[in-house]
Amino acid sequence: RRTDFLDGSAARGSGLPDVWWFRPDGRRMGKRDWERPDARSLGVFLNGQEIPTKTPRGESVLDDTFILLLNAFHEDIPFTLPTRRFGANWQLILSTADPDAEAAVFRAKEPVLVTGRSLVLLRRI
């Protein structure tokens, strides 16, 4: 749970934004992508190193870094993971299409097939 809004900045010094929205081809979403009425899928990079909240003792809060792949379309969509800069390896944590899926590992720029009307959660390893 975050107490501050995600804003796409790298204020904590990790070199990566706190959140980064991307298209299925692995490229950053632009204004036109957000305005497309036929867009039914997107990826979200959530940087666990860029949480501005402090603990009650004033310590920095750190968490794992995740990628969330969302497919609201009725057909399967292959997502290309972002470049290595965001993370070299990603482990499957959850697939709503297959809750019993094994914890597969994917590499940067590798395609991940997301079943229609489902989501996939990956954790950087």
Burial class (CB in 10 A: 0-12, 13-18, 19+), 82: buried
Contact predicate 55/108, CB 8 Å: no
Least confident of 9-23, 64-78, 105-119: 9-23
Model pLDDT, residue 35: 96
Antiparallel, parallel or unpaired: β 77-80 and 66-71: unpaired
Please, what's the largest Cα pairwise distance for the chain? Answer: 48
- For the chain, give the percent of residues with pLDDT over 90: 81
